[in-house]
Amino acid sequence: MAISRSGSRPEPDDGIGPPPAWAGVSAEAAVPDWAGGVSLGVAAWTGGEAKKSKKKRSTPPPRDTAMDPDADPESVARKILLDQLTGQARSRKELADKLAKRDVPDDVATRLLDRFEEVGLVDDAAFARMWISSRQPGKGLARRALAQELRRKGIDDEIAREALDEIDPDDEEEAARALVRKKLRSLRSVAPDVATRRLAGMLARKGYAPGLAYRVVREELRADPDESTEESW
Protein backbone atom coordinates (compact mmCIF):
# COMPACT_ATOMS: atom_id res chain seq x y z
CA MET A 1 0.00 0.00 0.00
CA ALA A 2 1.18 3.54 -0.76
CA ILE A 3 0.63 6.41 1.67
CA SER A 4 -1.44 9.31 0.33
CA ARG A 5 0.04 12.79 0.31
CA SER A 6 -2.40 13.94 2.98
CA GLY A 7 -1.39 11.06 5.23
CA SER A 8 -5.06 10.55 6.10
CA ARG A 9 -5.34 7.04 4.66
CA PRO A 10 -3.35 4.69 2.50
CA GLU A 11 -3.99 4.46 -1.23
CA PRO A 12 -3.86 1.15 -3.05
CA ASP A 13 -0.63 0.48 -4.88
CA ASP A 14 -1.49 -0.71 -8.38
CA GLY A 15 2.10 -1.62 -9.15
CA ILE A 16 2.27 0.71 -12.14
CA GLY A 17 3.87 3.72 -10.49
CA PRO A 18 3.93 7.26 -11.85
CA PRO A 19 3.92 7.78 -15.62
CA PRO A 20 7.38 8.08 -17.24
CA ALA A 21 8.62 11.49 -18.34
CA TRP A 22 8.38 10.61 -22.04
CA ALA A 23 4.65 10.05 -21.70
CA GLY A 24 4.14 13.77 -21.21
CA VAL A 25 1.81 13.22 -18.26
CA SER A 26 2.58 14.50 -14.78
CA ALA A 27 1.95 12.41 -11.70
CA GLU A 28 -0.68 14.88 -10.53
CA ALA A 29 -2.47 15.08 -13.88
CA ALA A 30 -6.10 14.11 -14.04
CA VAL A 31 -6.79 10.46 -14.62
CA PRO A 32 -7.45 9.98 -18.35
CA ASP A 33 -10.86 8.76 -19.31
CA TRP A 34 -9.37 5.60 -20.80
CA ALA A 35 -7.67 4.49 -17.56
CA GLY A 36 -8.50 0.94 -16.60
CA GLY A 37 -9.65 -0.11 -20.05
CA VAL A 38 -7.19 -1.93 -22.31
CA SER A 39 -9.07 -1.33 -25.52
CA LEU A 40 -9.63 2.31 -24.63
CA GLY A 41 -5.97 2.73 -23.77
CA VAL A 42 -4.82 1.21 -27.04
CA ALA A 43 -7.19 3.46 -28.89
CA ALA A 44 -5.78 6.48 -27.03
CA TRP A 45 -2.22 5.61 -28.05
CA THR A 46 -3.02 4.69 -31.67
CA GLY A 47 -5.65 7.29 -32.32
CA GLY A 48 -8.12 4.54 -33.19
CA GLU A 49 -11.60 3.90 -31.97
CA ALA A 50 -12.01 1.45 -29.10
CA LYS A 51 -14.66 -1.19 -28.94
CA LYS A 52 -17.56 -0.18 -26.79
CA SER A 53 -18.23 -1.93 -23.52
CA LYS A 54 -21.11 -4.36 -23.52
CA LYS A 55 -22.75 -2.16 -20.92
CA LYS A 56 -22.73 0.78 -23.28
CA ARG A 57 -24.67 0.93 -26.49
CA SER A 58 -22.66 2.02 -29.49
CA THR A 59 -24.08 4.81 -31.58
CA PRO A 60 -26.01 3.25 -34.49
CA PRO A 61 -24.71 4.04 -37.97
CA PRO A 62 -26.53 6.73 -39.91
CA ARG A 63 -29.62 5.41 -41.59
CA ASP A 64 -29.39 4.88 -45.34
CA THR A 65 -32.23 7.02 -46.60
CA ALA A 66 -31.65 5.85 -50.17
CA MET A 67 -33.32 2.54 -49.29
CA ASP A 68 -36.37 3.98 -47.57
CA PRO A 69 -39.71 2.76 -48.96
CA ASP A 70 -40.54 6.27 -50.16
CA ALA A 71 -37.06 7.03 -51.50
CA ASP A 72 -36.54 8.28 -55.00
CA PRO A 73 -36.40 5.23 -57.35
CA GLU A 74 -33.35 6.59 -59.12
CA SER A 75 -31.46 6.95 -55.83
CA VAL A 76 -32.42 3.39 -54.90
CA ALA A 77 -31.29 2.07 -58.29
CA ARG A 78 -28.02 3.98 -58.18
CA LYS A 79 -27.17 2.54 -54.76
CA ILE A 80 -28.02 -0.99 -55.89
CA LEU A 81 -25.76 -0.66 -58.91
CA LEU A 82 -22.86 0.75 -56.95
CA ASP A 83 -23.19 -1.98 -54.32
CA GLN A 84 -23.26 -4.68 -57.01
CA LEU A 85 -20.19 -3.28 -58.76
CA THR A 86 -18.12 -2.95 -55.60
CA GLY A 87 -15.18 -5.30 -55.96
CA GLN A 88 -16.59 -7.23 -58.92
CA ALA A 89 -17.43 -6.53 -62.54
CA ARG A 90 -20.88 -7.56 -63.73
CA SER A 91 -22.66 -7.72 -67.04
CA ARG A 92 -25.45 -5.36 -67.91
CA LYS A 93 -27.99 -8.20 -67.80
CA GLU A 94 -26.92 -9.23 -64.30
CA LEU A 95 -27.40 -5.65 -63.10
CA ALA A 96 -30.72 -5.27 -64.91
CA ASP A 97 -31.98 -8.49 -63.30
CA LYS A 98 -30.94 -7.23 -59.86
CA LEU A 99 -32.80 -3.94 -60.39
CA ALA A 100 -35.90 -5.79 -61.59
CA LYS A 101 -35.91 -7.93 -58.43
CA ARG A 102 -35.90 -4.73 -56.40
CA ASP A 103 -38.88 -3.41 -58.37
CA VAL A 104 -36.99 -0.53 -59.94
CA PRO A 105 -39.06 0.86 -62.83
CA ASP A 106 -37.83 -0.21 -66.26
CA ASP A 107 -37.33 3.34 -67.52
CA VAL A 108 -35.25 4.27 -64.48
CA ALA A 109 -33.17 1.09 -64.77
CA THR A 110 -32.50 1.63 -68.48
CA ARG A 111 -31.55 5.27 -67.99
CA LEU A 112 -29.11 4.51 -65.20
CA LEU A 113 -27.58 1.51 -66.94
CA ASP A 114 -27.04 3.63 -70.04
CA ARG A 115 -25.34 6.25 -67.91
CA PHE A 116 -23.15 3.67 -66.20
CA GLU A 117 -22.12 2.38 -69.62
CA GLU A 118 -21.23 5.90 -70.77
CA VAL A 119 -18.81 6.36 -67.88
CA GLY A 120 -17.36 2.85 -68.23
CA LEU A 121 -18.74 1.30 -65.05
CA VAL A 122 -20.70 -1.21 -67.12
CA ASP A 123 -18.80 -2.71 -70.07
CA ASP A 124 -19.89 -6.08 -71.43
CA ALA A 125 -16.87 -6.38 -73.72
CA ALA A 126 -14.45 -5.85 -70.84
CA PHE A 127 -16.53 -8.20 -68.68
CA ALA A 128 -16.34 -10.94 -71.33
CA ARG A 129 -12.56 -10.65 -71.58
CA MET A 130 -12.22 -10.70 -67.81
CA TRP A 131 -14.49 -13.74 -67.51
CA ILE A 132 -12.52 -15.67 -70.13
CA SER A 133 -9.16 -14.76 -68.61
CA SER A 134 -10.24 -16.21 -65.27
CA ARG A 135 -12.28 -19.22 -66.38
CA GLN A 136 -10.16 -20.49 -69.26
CA PRO A 137 -6.89 -21.06 -67.38
CA GLY A 138 -8.49 -21.51 -63.96
CA LYS A 139 -11.12 -24.11 -64.90
CA GLY A 140 -9.61 -25.30 -68.18
CA LEU A 141 -12.76 -24.42 -70.09
CA ALA A 142 -12.77 -24.48 -73.89
CA ARG A 143 -14.37 -21.91 -76.17
CA ARG A 144 -17.71 -23.69 -76.41
CA ALA A 145 -18.19 -23.88 -72.64
CA LEU A 146 -17.07 -20.28 -72.21
CA ALA A 147 -19.52 -19.16 -74.89
CA GLN A 148 -22.36 -20.86 -73.02
CA GLU A 149 -21.39 -19.18 -69.76
CA LEU A 150 -21.20 -15.76 -71.40
CA ARG A 151 -24.61 -16.31 -72.98
CA ARG A 152 -26.06 -17.06 -69.55
CA LYS A 153 -24.49 -13.83 -68.32
CA GLY A 154 -26.41 -11.97 -71.02
CA ILE A 155 -23.40 -11.11 -73.17
CA ASP A 156 -24.28 -10.47 -76.81
CA ASP A 157 -23.08 -13.25 -79.13
CA GLU A 158 -21.00 -10.85 -81.24
CA ILE A 159 -19.28 -9.38 -78.18
CA ALA A 160 -18.64 -12.88 -76.85
CA ARG A 161 -17.25 -14.04 -80.20
CA GLU A 162 -14.77 -11.18 -80.32
CA ALA A 163 -13.54 -11.99 -76.83
CA LEU A 164 -13.35 -15.73 -77.54
CA ASP A 165 -11.32 -15.08 -80.69
CA GLU A 166 -8.52 -13.81 -78.47
CA ILE A 167 -7.96 -17.32 -77.06
CA ASP A 168 -4.83 -18.89 -78.50
CA PRO A 169 -5.65 -22.39 -79.85
CA ASP A 170 -2.31 -23.63 -78.48
CA ASP A 171 -3.27 -22.38 -75.01
CA GLU A 172 -6.60 -24.18 -75.29
CA GLU A 173 -4.93 -27.45 -76.25
CA GLU A 174 -2.38 -27.13 -73.46
CA ALA A 175 -5.21 -26.59 -70.98
CA ALA A 176 -6.81 -29.82 -72.24
CA ARG A 177 -3.54 -31.69 -71.77
CA ALA A 178 -3.17 -30.35 -68.24
CA LEU A 179 -6.66 -31.60 -67.40
CA VAL A 180 -5.90 -35.05 -68.78
CA ARG A 181 -2.59 -35.34 -66.92
CA LYS A 182 -4.23 -34.38 -63.65
CA LYS A 183 -7.12 -36.80 -64.07
CA LEU A 184 -4.85 -39.58 -65.30
CA ARG A 185 -3.27 -39.94 -61.88
CA SER A 186 -6.52 -41.35 -60.53
CA LEU A 187 -6.98 -43.81 -63.40
CA ARG A 188 -3.87 -45.97 -63.01
CA SER A 189 -5.82 -49.13 -62.25
CA VAL A 190 -8.51 -48.61 -64.89
CA ALA A 191 -8.61 -50.45 -68.21
CA PRO A 192 -7.31 -48.35 -71.14
CA ASP A 193 -10.63 -48.17 -72.98
CA VAL A 194 -12.43 -47.13 -69.80
CA ALA A 195 -9.83 -44.48 -69.03
CA THR A 196 -10.07 -43.15 -72.58
CA ARG A 197 -13.84 -42.78 -72.35
CA ARG A 198 -13.66 -41.06 -68.97
CA LEU A 199 -10.96 -38.63 -70.04
CA ALA A 200 -12.68 -37.80 -73.31
CA GLY A 201 -15.98 -37.32 -71.49
CA MET A 202 -14.34 -34.95 -69.03
CA LEU A 203 -12.94 -32.84 -71.88
CA ALA A 204 -16.34 -32.84 -73.61
CA ARG A 205 -17.95 -31.44 -70.47
CA LYS A 206 -15.31 -28.71 -70.48
CA GLY A 207 -16.36 -27.75 -74.00
CA TYR A 208 -13.63 -29.39 -76.08
CA ALA A 209 -14.44 -30.72 -79.53
CA PRO A 210 -14.48 -34.54 -79.82
CA GLY A 211 -11.63 -34.65 -82.33
CA LEU A 212 -9.32 -32.59 -80.14
CA ALA A 213 -10.37 -34.43 -77.01
CA TYR A 214 -9.62 -37.93 -78.32
CA ARG A 215 -6.34 -36.87 -79.92
CA VAL A 216 -5.10 -35.28 -76.70
CA VAL A 217 -6.20 -38.27 -74.63
CA ARG A 218 -4.43 -40.79 -76.90
CA GLU A 219 -1.23 -38.75 -77.00
CA GLU A 220 -1.15 -38.25 -73.26
CA LEU A 221 -1.78 -41.92 -72.58
CA ARG A 222 1.10 -42.90 -74.85
CA ALA A 223 3.36 -40.28 -73.26
CA ASP A 224 2.60 -41.31 -69.69
CA PRO A 225 6.01 -41.68 -68.01
CA ASP A 226 4.80 -44.29 -65.53
CA GLU A 227 6.26 -47.64 -66.64
CA SER A 228 3.38 -49.68 -65.30
CA THR A 229 0.98 -47.42 -67.11
CA GLU A 230 2.82 -47.79 -70.39
CA GLU A 231 2.44 -51.57 -70.17
CA SER A 232 -1.23 -51.41 -69.29
CA TRP A 233 -2.08 -48.99 -72.07
Tell me the whole-structure pTM to 2 decimals: 0.63
Q: Tens digit of pLDDT per residue, the chain (233 long)? A: 554 445 555 555 544 455 455 444 444 545 555 444 434 443 444 455 544 545 555 555 554 554 555 578 899 999 999 999 998 899 999 999 999 999 999 999 999 999 999 999 999 999 999 999 988 888 899 999 999 999 999 999 999 999 999 999 999 999 999 999 999 888 888 888 899 999 999 999 999 999 999 999 999 998 876 634 444 44
CA contacts within 13 A on the Cβ side of 6: 4
Q: What distance in Å separates the CA atoms of residue 55 and residue 32, rounded to the nearest whole number?
A: 20
Q: Which DSSP helix (H) or strand (E) runs through 217?
A: helix 210-222
Q: Please, is 181 exposed, middle or buried when counting C-beta atoms within 10 Å of its C-beta (0-12, 13-18, 19+)?
A: middle
The reported pLDDT for the residue numbered 70 is 57
**C-alpha gyration radius of the chain:** 33
**How many angstroms separate the CA atoms of 192 and 218, rounded?**
10
User: DSSP character for 226?
Assistant: -
Q: In whole angstroms, what is the distance from residue 210 CA to residue 199 CA?
A: 11
User: Nearest 5°: phi and psi at 71?
Assistant: -70, 160
Q: Which residues of 188-200 are buried (b: 16+ CB within 10 A; e: fewer)?
A: eeeeeeebbebbb
pLDDT of 189: 85
- 42: amino acid identity, one letter: V
